[in-house]
Structure 1
Amino acid sequence: MAVQINSTEVLGARLLREVAAEEGSLEDLLKDLRTISNHIRPSRTGIPDLDELWKQHGGKLSVISRGFPLVYSMISHMVKELEGTVVVVDLDGRFSPSHLVGMGLWMGDLRHVHVFRCSKERLKITLDSVEDYMLWGEHGSKGREWLGTIVLGGVGGDVMVGWRGWLGVEREVVGGFGEGVSVEEAWTDRERRKEIVDNKGWRGVCEMGEFRWG
């Protein structure tokens, strides 16, 4: 006995085939876009040694101790080297965009650093509003990629600076006075040692290793 197939069933089958084909094409397109994106933007911060440690650790970049020198360096690299834009959510009111000037950025570059200040109680609301603002709001960074959110003094975003974390920041160590150095010699040498300390860079330290900058 022949099976009769009406026109509705034929149309439905054709639509299902077209949807399946489009889903396959969409999946291939997304895969290609991810490949291209990874090729163009292999770095998270623009600091290769830091990016390697972050990749090894995974998750969020959580910084403890003296984190601000690293934050300023990261932002400078992300805005200048990666040509992106960055959000800073400052809960402590200690972040100063003016410190970025002279670290490779000009005053005009600061429009790509979007600073929000809030209390810890309003952090989640602020982070939600930040996403809407960066994606749909009117600002001067529309033509740039939003590379991430840095939260100072709280938990959230892509990078956090606070009392707990897996990456410590400290000054590079300056050697002490040698044995047998008198008080007079040490006093005479103080200016030279101060200059050495001032010119010393910083280092980030964690279980996977360390890196230096500055």
Structure 2
Amino acid sequence: MAEATTGRRMLSQVEETNLDEVRYCIRFAFAADLAPTSNSHALSAPLVAKVKTYPIQDLDKLVTRHHRVTRSARLALTGRQLPLIYLLVATLITPPHNKAVVVVDTDNKFDITSVLQCAPHGSPLARSRALRQGAFAQQYNEDDRSPGPHRDNVSHTNGGNVTLEDLKHVHVYRTARGSISHVRDVLNSAEHYMIYSNHASATREWWGTIVIGGGGSSSSSSSSPAPVGSGQADVTTGRNGWLRVNRKVPRRFPVGMSIEEALVERDQRRRAADAAGFKATCIWGSLTFNQ
């Protein structure tokens, strides 16, 4: 009996990995060993970075796995990142999480009304929407055996729709694109406001800061981003983000289809493309979601 208990405990400590992860880990370790001593602070800072807990289960697993190898706690997005940001913000500010979020938007692309229209992850509205869209998009997916909206592990929470009251806890800073020092100043200002000022979210836990356009643009930000002053961006966007978001693509027109047949099917395929949802992929895995 004791041997069986010991065996179960040992198996529970085994972590699944793959060849790509091993190669990435080795490459990252060599880069740290060969880095100049002047960059020692930039390399050591992520080692003590605290990993945020994400309310989307599959996303939380990817961030945790990325941190385990790179020691970088930051989520760096690329591609069509805004739908995932809207989903993350909507889920954070609604029950049962009830957090406050800061968004620093240097690209002037963040649309707060999109958060209002987004179904929080795991809510009854999100589940019914995923089932409804999945039934419509299934026949048009490239792989009909695994339709997109059903691949994401939906957590069963009691969250509801986003309300105007919830939006009071999204603190948006719109600033012109500038230097790293400029973004650092904005982050520090936002941090001071959230901690010391009397605002609508004073009774809520501040989850963190999302930077759109002002971070993740350099080659180093995607692998080992260092804290920007005392303020730390928890989510950034840029060309070199390690998690790429794209819209799922329905199956292509079959070979031999005429123009007339394609035109007849055009509207239906457009609806199928809208219902297909999005897919976020990286070296550690992927997740699918609907907005």
Per the shorter chain, which TM-score range? 0.7 to 0.9
Per-residue Cα deviation, 1:47-89 (whole angstroms, up to 9, x for no partner): 1000100000012000011110110000011111421010000
Conservation of the 8 A alpha-carbon contact between 1:174 and 1:197: yes
DSSP-derived class of the 1:170 partner:
strand
Q: Give the letter for the 2:53 counterpart.
A: R
State the partner residue of 1:95.
110
Cα distance in 2, alignment partners of residues 192 and 182 from structure 1 = 16
Q: Is 1:66 matched with 2:80?
A: yes
Q: Give the letter for the 2:100 counterpart.
A: T
1:153 to 213, 227, 234: 213
Cα distance in 2, alignment partners of residues 194 and 173 from structure 1 = 10
Cα distance in 2, alignment partners of residues 101 and 177 from structure 1 = 35
Identity %: 36
State the partner residue of 1:57.
66
* CA pair 83-43 structure 1, distance change in 2 beyond 3 A: farther
**Structure 2, unaligned stretches of length 5 or more?**
1-50, 68-72, 119-160, 216-231
Matches within 5 A, 1:140-179: 140-155=200-215, 157-179=233-255
1:45 to 54, 69, 79: 54
* CA pair 112-169 structure 1, distance change in 2 beyond 3 A: same
Task: Using the TM superposition, give the Cα deviation of residue 98 of structure 1 relative to its aligned residue in structure 2, in angstroms.
Answer: 1.2
Conservation of the 8 A alpha-carbon contact between 1:45 and 1:77: no
DSSP-derived class of the 1:101 partner:
helix
Conservation of the 8 A alpha-carbon contact between 1:89 and 1:115: yes
2:92 to 73, 78, 97: 78
Matches within 5 A, 1:103-118: 103=118, 104-118=161-175
Matches within 5 A, 1:122-133: 122-133=182-193
Q: Give the letter for the 2:87 counterpart.
A: S
Q: How many residues align?
A: 173
Cα distance in 1, alignment partners of residues 117 and 66 from structure 2 = 31
Per-residue Cα deviation, 1:10-35 (whole angstroms, up to 9, x for no partner): xxxxxxxxxxxxxxxxxxxxxxxxxx
Q: TM-score scaled to structure 1, two decimals?
A: 0.77
State the partner residue of 1:138.
198
State the partner residue of 2:15.
none
DSSP-derived class of the 2:62 partner:
helix
Q: Give the letter for the 1:144 counterpart.
A: R
Conservation of the 8 A alpha-carbon contact between 1:166 and 1:206: yes
Cα distance in 1, alignment partners of residues 175 and 259 from structure 2 = 50
Task: Using the TM superposition, give the Cα deviation of residue 129 of structure 1 relative to its aligned residue in structure 2, in angstroms.
Answer: 1.0
Cα distance in 2, alignment partners of residues 55 and 45 from structure 1 = 10
The runs of 4+ residues in structure 1 deviating greater than 3 Å are: none
Root mean square deviation, CA, Å: 1.5
Q: TM-score scaled to structure 2, two decimals?
A: 0.57
Decide which moves more: 106-115 or 96-105: 96-105
Task: Using the TM superposition, give the Cα deviation of residue 43 of structure 1 relative to its aligned residue in structure 2, in angstroms.
Answer: 7.0
